[in-house]
Structure 1
Amino acid sequence: MVRAAGYAQRVRIDQEQGCTIATIKDVAKAAGVSPSTVSNLLNAREHLMHPDTRRRVLEAMEALSYKPSRIAQQLRGAPNPTLGLIVPSVANPFWGSWAAELETASHARGRQIYLCNSQRDPERERTYVEQLWADGVEHIVLSTSLPSLDHLRPAMDAGVQIIAFDREQQETDPPELLNVSVDNEGGTWLATRHLLERGHRRIAFVSGAIRTVSRRRRLAGYQRALAENGIPLDDDLVPASPDLGDADSGTLARRAVDALLALDDPPTALVAVNDMFALGAGAALREAGRPDIAIIGFDDIPIGSLVSPALTTVRQPLREMAEAIVALATEPSDAEQRYPLVFPPTLVVRASTPRRTT
């Protein structure tokens, strides 16, 4: 297989320069066939291929290190039922709840999940995706909401199906990328409107760094609700942070509260980017002797209903989203009909958002 070996050498040089995964197109070029022919082999449609063609494709895959052991098992008729799941960090209970819902939906369709924590680090995400693909995992749910997924384009070109959770579609997304999300802007619009209806006009937005698609949309919802009610945006009420806070949201929330309480005209209410920020802010306000300041979160994690006062929040329909994602992974032919998927949020009113009395 001189042709495949020579081409493989050139591909490995490219890999050393930054491209880490050989693609279906690379295999097709080395074997002298079309990409659809390689896809036939990968998807157990060998009856559509001439034996000599099958041999050349397999030799090209081997020369390019494209055929992991799990892929070989799939070619023998034993598909890997695992669904990959990458989250920022299960230190935030929301991601534990999400993993549990996805696992339940996966088990109902005979699948397992493989959980990875990436800290939203693109390099770590790339490594996890490559390892999952090497183990034969073809569908990976990416839950980190980064604006650009260019670091995963080689994997998607190689055939990995990425389903992005908590991330609405972006103009620069490749066509094969699927996005499933709650309406993040609509959620914080509901939250901010609720506080406005309760008499609050000085409303802050508490978050870590606004560097993800979901957080940008949540900030936009807060801004839209204020604008619709004729309230100008005050940058002092959106304290800046250099960190995302996936594992230390409580610390970042306390810093934000300290900055807000130091203002000459502090807020009477807070919209938090998620429940963990809301709980951290609530603890800081109680310690500062300001439990009168209303707080609303986003996610509806179980602990929110157990604290005192119980947390008003925006609920994500995790079960429905999990079932939709597993359906996309198990019924890819329905993806075009189901996509894009943006689910409506629900406002859950509890005791943490009292009416303003003065």
Structure 2
Amino acid sequence: MNPKRVNQRQGSAIATIKDVAKAAGVSPSTVSNLLNARDHLMQPETRRRVLEAMEALSYRPSRIAQQLRGAPNLTFGLIVPSVANPFWGSWAAYLETAAHARGRQIYLCNTERDPDRERAYVEQLWADGVEHIVLSTSLPSLEHLRPAMDAGVQIVAFDREREETDPPELLSVSVDNEAGAWMATQHLVERGHRRIAFVSGAIRTVSRVRRFAGYRRALAENGIQLDEALVSDSPELGDTDSGSLAREAVHALFELQDPPTALVTINDMFALGAVAAIRDAGRDVTDVAVVGFDDIPIGGLISPTLSTVHQPLREMAEAVVALTINEARAGESLHSLVFAPTLVERESTSRRNT
């Protein structure tokens, strides 16, 4: 029987395992084998027919029924600060793609890095049977999530390198933030800059502390004394209003008696705000060098195009999903992975300081 014809006759009715079995010409137990990861028991042609029938009928297995049968929940929770920053939207898209390729789904939550909201989301996801949560907020302490981890929730910390106080079961996947900021600062030094500012929201997340450390290290290695007046550290994190925070910070930097000639920004959204501030001041946007961090797509489309530090999000997403699934299936110990960043040189740093 053609499953597409079955779907047309049934209209919008919710399909069952029996409907799928009838459309594929197999028994309900065969469909159940596929749903419960026992497809090694069937022939490839049978598997193909079942999958085609499920797609044609828009069949969705009942999560509650699967849990009652002891089947694993195939959903990840993803917690980000705010998709108002396109970096987090890109990260969610890459993670979703990697998860879907392995039959998983994603629940997305925005928390503005608020520990109370994080705890509430984690508790709700856990109550819904979600056991694997990708936490992308880089807060220095995860104690607010300790009860959930003790109950069996697996937390995967993204954009947060491992801390000494972290529990051994925590999986961390991050770019080398210190190395990335060092690259950005070193690049500006090599372009002849000595008055290099660091533009950021509050430096109180693990990733931001590491990036600031990379900036300081590059200055020190080049014999440049750190000038606190060139460190713009807002009391706000700036996840949703990063552009305006950066704009205000750069306006203040330009009012200094000896203003900076180059800017290292905490992320690309801060870099875009910095470029806007340069234009506000009536200056040529290539006169003040700007380097971002993250390599969001818009950075290559603006004028001037943005020099930035690239994070390999596709590979990092693959690592998060693969390691989590392997851990769930094989009971292996968790890992901490740190990916190497790369510097992308574009027009925003093309002019040398002379």
Instruction: Confirm or deny: 8 A CA contact 1:200 1:355 kept in the other structure.
Output: no
Using structure 1 for the length normalisation, give the TM-score.
0.79
Q: Hey, what does 2:42 align to over in structure 1?
A: none
After TM superposition, the structure 1 = structure 2 runs for residues 255-294 of structure 1, keeping only pairs within 5 Å, are 255-290=248-283, 291=285, 292-294=287-289
Mapped to 2, the partners of 1:96 and 1:293 lie a distance apart of 29
Q: Hey, what does 2:159 align to over in structure 1?
A: 166
Shift of 1:71: 7.2
- Tell me the SS of whatever aligns to 1:352: helix
After TM superposition, the structure 1 = structure 2 runs for residues 182-201 of structure 1, keeping only pairs within 5 Å, are 182-201=175-194
**Cα deviation 1:190-248 (Å, max 9, x = unaligned):** 00010111111110000000010000000000000000001010000002311000000
Mapped to 2, the partners of 1:334 and 1:205 lie a distance apart of 43
- Tell me the SS of whatever aligns to 2:348: coil
Query: Aligned match of 2:82 in 82, 89, 102?
Result: 89
Q: Hey, what does 1:352 align to over in structure 2?
A: 348
After TM superposition, the structure 1 = structure 2 runs for residues 188-227 of structure 1, keeping only pairs within 5 Å, are 188-227=181-220
Deviating above 6 A after TM superposition, structure 1's stretches of 4 or more consecutive aligned residues are 69-72
Q: Unaligned regions of 5+ residues in structure 2, if any?
A: 1-61
Aligned length: 289
Task: Decide whether aligned partners of structure 1 residues 209 and 357 sit closer, same or farther in structure 2, where only a CA change above 3 A counts.
Answer: closer
Shift of 1:335: 5.1
Mapped to 1, the partners of 2:195 and 2:277 lie a distance apart of 18
Shift of 1:77: 3.5
Shift of 1:79: 2.5
Q: Is it true that 1:322 corresponds to 2:326 in the alignment?
A: no
Q: Hey, what does 1:181 align to over in structure 2?
A: 174
Mapped to 2, the partners of 1:72 and 1:175 lie a distance apart of 33
Letter in 1 for 2:297: P
Q: Hey, what does 2:10 align to over in structure 1?
A: none
Shift of 1:329: 1.6
- Tell me the SS of whatever aligns to 2:259: coil
Mapped to 1, the partners of 2:65 and 2:114 lie a distance apart of 30
Letter in 1 for 2:265: A
- Tell me the SS of whatever aligns to 1:331: helix
After TM superposition, the structure 1 = structure 2 runs for residues 1-150 of structure 1, keeping only pairs within 5 Å, are 73-150=66-143
Identity across matched positions, percent = 78
Task: Decide whether aligned partners of structure 1 residues 168 and 335 sit closer, same or farther in structure 2, where only a CA change above 3 A counts.
Answer: farther
Mapped to 2, the partners of 1:193 and 1:242 lie a distance apart of 27
Q: Hey, what does 1:48 align to over in structure 2?
A: none
**Cα deviation 1:138-190 (Å, max 9, x = unaligned):** 10000000000000000000000000000000111111111110000000000
Instruction: Confirm or deny: 8 A CA contact 2:309 2:342 kept in the other structure.
Output: yes
Residue range with higher mean Cα deviation, 159-168 or 70-79: 70-79
Instruction: Confirm or deny: 8 A CA contact 2:98 2:318 kept in the other structure.
Output: yes
Q: CA RMSD in A?
A: 1.5
Mapped to 2, the partners of 1:95 and 1:266 lie a distance apart of 32
Letter in 2 for 1:88: P
